[in-house]
Amino acid sequence: MTTWDSFQAFATRPVAAPPPPGAPPRSLEERLAYHSRFVTVRTPAIDTLAKNVRTLMILGRHQAVTARPSLIVTGPAGAGKTTALLQVGRACHLAHTRRHGAAAAAGQVPVAYVLVPPAASAKTLAIEFARYLGIPVTAGMSQAQITGAVCHTYTAAGVQLVMIDEIHRLNPRTTTGAQSADLIKDLTERIGATFVYAGIDVTTTPLFTGVRGAQLAGRASLIDCAAFPARLGDEEPFRDLITAMETALDLRHHRPGTLPKLAPYLHERTAGRIGSLARLIRQAAITALIDGTERITKTTLDAIRLDHLAEQHYRPHTRPRSRSTNPS
């Protein structure tokens, strides 16, 4: 996703979808590929992010004096932050193409997606921005030269939305982290785009500390992409999420309603993290296809090893053995 060509391919690729009613059965290979990609369920976090991004893009459209207002998506690992970010970026790209027509939009780049590299310096981060658009960078170029080329090219390409992922890797308390934070501030003021950041539990990191943190906090709204609660008042958002995923399965012998009935178990198994849940259901579906059962049961789910974070959280309930007593 970290080059324009790869992001454009992602944005324009038809999304995975279950077969429509009455469609001929798909082959085993087609269904394996489908469950490998699987559907992206529209979550409240995606809806909230999309609405806020659209509003801020309109709000900042004619703002030329200072940096435009921005957004930060935060939450625990596996909560769907990157998925939400990419889906909003995809929607922005497709909306731009519809608005201007494919031919007119051919030379434009409405969306940029950049990952903050580990222990990023200002120069390595600037290089990542350059790499996205294929801007040539030579060993002898200074950070200022790379930054200048990035700002010029991004402006000429008409970039409207800049998404920066893994923002928690920045630590303004260190020299390199402070310089990287200054670079991002510089880019927000020189590129006429809306900036959206995503990172793990951003509010608990040093990102909002000190003068630089105060500047970021003063410009950015926070969207919390938290794990799904089992219950929210009278609603059961996690069960609804499971139902949506089950509806999208393409298994010939799976009984509808099986997975929603397992909602308490699935919530405990995944801690309500959408990333862990999606992996569990996808992996169970692929297992069911390979072994020929074509259905997901609790036995199928129990046999799957999830990510280490989920496995650490999950503690199966086991009945303690009753000690046998000697009547003598």
- Give 191-234 pLDDT, tens digit per residue: 999 999 999 998 888 887 777 777 777 788 889 988 888 888 88
And the tokens for 280?
Answer: 């569990």
pLDDT at residue 244 tops 80: yes
Which residue is it, tokens 């200074």? 142
Q: What is the mean pLDDT of residues 167-174?
A: 87
CB atoms within 10 A of CB 116: 21
What local confidence, expressed as pLDDT, does residue 171 receive? 84
Tell me which of 105-114, 182-191, 311-320 is least confident: 311-320
pLDDT tens per residue across span 121-139:
999 999 999 999 999 999 9
Secondary element (H or E) of residue 155: helix 143-157
What local confidence, expressed as pLDDT, does residue 322 receive? 46
50 vs 91: CA distance, rounded Å:
8
What local confidence, expressed as pLDDT, does residue 52 receive? 92
Q: What is the DSSP letter of 169?
A: G
130 in Cβ contact with 142 (< 8 Å): no
Tell me which of 34-48, 97-111, 123-137, 154-168 is least confident: 97-111
- Residue 320: band (very low, low, confident or very high) from pLDDT cuts 50, 70, 90: very low
114 in Cβ contact with 132 (< 8 Å): yes
What local confidence, expressed as pLDDT, does residue 1 receive? 80
What local confidence, expressed as pLDDT, does residue 314 receive? 61
And the tokens for 247?
Answer: 């509806």
And the tokens for 60?
Answer: 């900042």
Q: What is the mean pLDDT of residues 295-320?
A: 74
Give every CB contact of residue 315 below 8 A, 6+ residues apart in sequence.
none
Amino acid at 262: L
> Global pTM?
0.86
pLDDT tens per residue across span 80-113:
899 999 999 999 999 999 988 776 667 789 999 9
199 in Cβ contact with 74 (< 8 Å): yes
Q: Coil, strand or helix: which one is 5?
A: helix
Q: What is the mean pLDDT of residues 232-247?
A: 92
89 in Cβ contact with 161 (< 8 Å): yes
Q: What is the mean pLDDT of residues 282-287?
A: 96
